[in-house]
Amino acid sequence: MIKTDVVIIGAGPTGLFCAHQLGIIGLKCEIVDNLDKIGGQCIELYPDKPIYDIPAVPECTGEELTNNLIKQIKPFNFNFHLNNKVQELRKENESWIVKTTNGIEFNTPNVVIAGGVGSFEPRKFPTKSAEKWDGKTVLYSIKDKSIFKDKSVAIFGGGDSALDWAIELSSISKVSLIHRRDEFRGAPASIQKIKELSEKNRINLFTKYSIKDVKGNGSLEEVEIKSEEGESKTLKADYVLGFFGLIMQLGPIAEWGLNLDKKTIPVNTENFETNKKGIFAIGDICNYPGKLKLILSGFHEGALAARGCFKYARPNEKYRFEFTTASNTIKDRLGIK
Amino acid sequence: MAKIKYIEHNGNEHIADVQNGLTIMEGAIQNDIPGIDADCGGSMSCATCHVYVKEDWYDKLPKKEMGEDDMLDQAYEPNSSSRLSCQIIVSDDLDGLSVHMPEKQV
C-alpha cells in the first residue's frame, strides 16, 4: 500500500500540471495512467499536430508540450504508474483506497481525476462471435510473436501497426492482410514492402474487405470476410488480429457514484471537487457552466484542485499563497539554489 | 441555416436547425441528439462522430480531406458512404440533408 497526499488519475497535460502545482505547494502525489507512456491524448492522438493555443507558446506539438511538462515536474520526483488502470475507488475511514488493475494500492486523502474522456482501449471487431476468442486467438496487441510460428494469421487494419505486423509475421507465419479500402495509411516504405510481399505471394492481400464472422469448433478455425457488394470469402485462420487504433472508454469511473452527466463529472469551480469529498475532477472530464475543453482550462483547474487537496492532506496547517518568483520555500522545492 | 435530419440506427429521427458554419457533429451535440459521441471534440482524431450519408447527398457534400479516410478506417463498420460528421460544415446548400448513425460509435 502506497501512502500519498494525492493520486492523480491520468498523465495528460492537465494531470501533469496539477502534479506541478501540488509540488509547488509541498504535497506529494502519485500519477496513474492506463497508457504505456506519459502525455494522454497529446501523445496518443496527436503527437505531431501543432497546438496554437497554449498561453505564451505560439506553437508546439503534443509531444513537445508533454516533454516540457515532464521537465517542469522533474524536480519533484513524482512516481508514474503507467500501464495501470484504476479499477476500484473506495472510502476507508477518512482515506480513499485506490486500486489498479495490476494490483497497486494507494491510501490517500485526495484523488484527482484528470482522465480526459476515459482510458484508451483497443477498438475491437464489431462481430459478436469474436468475443468468444478475445484475448486468446482474437488479439488486438501482440506480446509474444513466437505463438504465431507456422500458423495462419489474419490481420485486419490499414495503419502502421497492421502493416508492420504483417511484414514481421510474414517470415514465420501464413499471413493474410485485410483492409476495407485500397489505400493504406502507414509509412510509404511499409506500404511498398506489403505490395512486394503480396506480389511474391508471401502475404495474401485482401483490400475492400472487412470482417464478417469468425468461426471454429472449440478453437478458432476460419475467418469470413465480406466486400461492400456483399461477396464473401472464407480464410483459414488460427489467429485473428485487429489493429483499429484506440478508443477512449470511461470504464470504472462510471461506477464511483460521481453524478455523471454524459460521460463528464460535474464539479464546483472553486476547487473542482466533485460530489464526493476529496475527489476532484479536472480537464476534459469535468463539467461546469462555461466549461471549455482547452488545455489551458485544464491547467487552471489543476491549480485550483491542488489547493483543494491541501486542506485534506494537511488538515492542521493553513495554506498560504506564495509566488514562485518570491518564495524561497518554493525555490527549495524546485531545487533552485 | 439548414434543416438536418439525424437518423439513429434504430430508426428514431431527430430534425435540427443547424447554423451555417457549424459542423454536422456540432449540430448533434448542441441539440442533444444521441448517436454521435465526438470524443475528441472535432479534431478528426477519434472517429466517434461517424455517420453514413446516402448516395443522393453524398456527392453534394464537400469532399473528404486528407486524413478523414484514415480515421474512418478505425470507425465502427465503415463503408463507402461513411463520413466523419465533424468534417462536414453546414451551409444553406445542405438544407434537408439526412445522416444515418451507425449502430455504435467505438
Residues of B in contact with A159 (CB under 8 A): 70, 73-74
pLDDT tens over chain A, length 337 residues: 999 999 999 999 999 999 999 999 999 999 999 999 999 989 987 888 899 999 999 999 999 999 999 999 999 999 999 999 999 999 998 899 999 999 999 999 999 999 998 888 899 999 999 999 999 999 999 988 999 999 999 999 999 999 999 999 999 999 999 999 999 999 999 999 999 999 999 999 999 999 999 999 999 999 999 998 989 999 999 999 999 988 888 889 988 999 998 789 999 999 999 999 999 999 999 999 999 999 999 999 999 999 999 999 999 999 999 999 999 999 999 999 8
Domain boundary among A195, A223, A244: A244
The answer to whether residues A229 and A251 belong to one domain is no
The answer to whether residues A31 and A43 belong to one domain is yes
CATH of residue A75's domain is 3.50.50.60
Domain, as residue range, for A192 = 124-244
Domain boundary among A224, A244, A264: A244
Contact A151, A178 (CB under 8 A): no
The predicted complex's ipTM stands at 0.83
Q: What is the pLDDT of residues A94-115, one digit of tens each?
A: 899 999 999 999 999 999 999 9
Contact B43 A45 (CB under 8 A): yes
* Strand runs labelled E in B1-106: 2-7, 13-18, 50-52, 82-84, 98-100
The answer to whether residues A114 and A157 belong to one domain is no
Q: Measured between CB atoms, which of B39, B73, B76 is closest to A248?
A: B39
φ, ψ for residue B43 (rounded to 5)? Answer: -95, 15
Where are chain B's structural domains? 2-100
The answer to whether residues A163 and A91 belong to one domain is no
What's the confidence (pLDDT) of residue B79? 92
The answer to whether residues A218 and A292 belong to one domain is no
Q: Measured between CB atoms, which of B45, B47, B79 is closest to A228?
A: B79
The answer to whether residues A88 and A50 belong to one domain is yes
Contact A180 B76 (CB under 8 A): no
Of B43, B23, B39, give the one whose Cα is nearest residue B31. Answer: B23
- DSSP state for residue A181 in the 8-state scheme: S
Which of B33, B39, B44, B84 has the highest number of chain A CBs within 10 A, making it the mutation to test binding with A? B39
Mean pLDDT for all residues in chain B: 94
CATH superfamily of domain region B2-100:
Beta-grasp domain (3.10.20.30)
The answer to whether residues A34 and A74 belong to one domain is yes
What's the confidence (pLDDT) of residue A125? 94
The answer to whether residues A14 and A112 belong to one domain is yes
Q: Measured between CB atoms, which of A41, A117, A183 is closest to B69?
A: A183
Residues 6+ apart with CB under 8 A from B7: B13, B14, B98, B99, B100, B101
The answer to whether residues A83 and A47 belong to one domain is yes
Q: With residue A175 as reference, give the H or E element that holds it.
A: strand A174-179
Which of B46, B73, B77 has the highest number of chain A CBs within 10 A, making it the mutation to test binding with A? B73
* Strand runs labelled E in A180-245: 203-207, 209-215, 222-227, 232-236, 239-242
User: What's the gap in Å between the CA of A126 and the closest CA on chain B?
Assistant: 7
Q: CB contact, 8 Å: A20 with chain B?
A: no
The answer to whether residues A111 and A139 belong to one domain is no
Q: What is the pLDDT of residues A137-180, one digit of tens each?
A: 999 999 889 999 999 999 999 999 999 999 999 999 999 999 99
d(CA A166, CA A206): 12
d(CA A9, CA A106): 12
The number of C-beta contacts closer than 8 angstroms across A and B is: 54
The answer to whether residues A156 and A46 belong to one domain is no
Task: Provide the domain count of chain A.
Answer: 2
Domain boundary among A219, A244, A269: A244
The answer to whether residues A270 and A232 belong to one domain is no
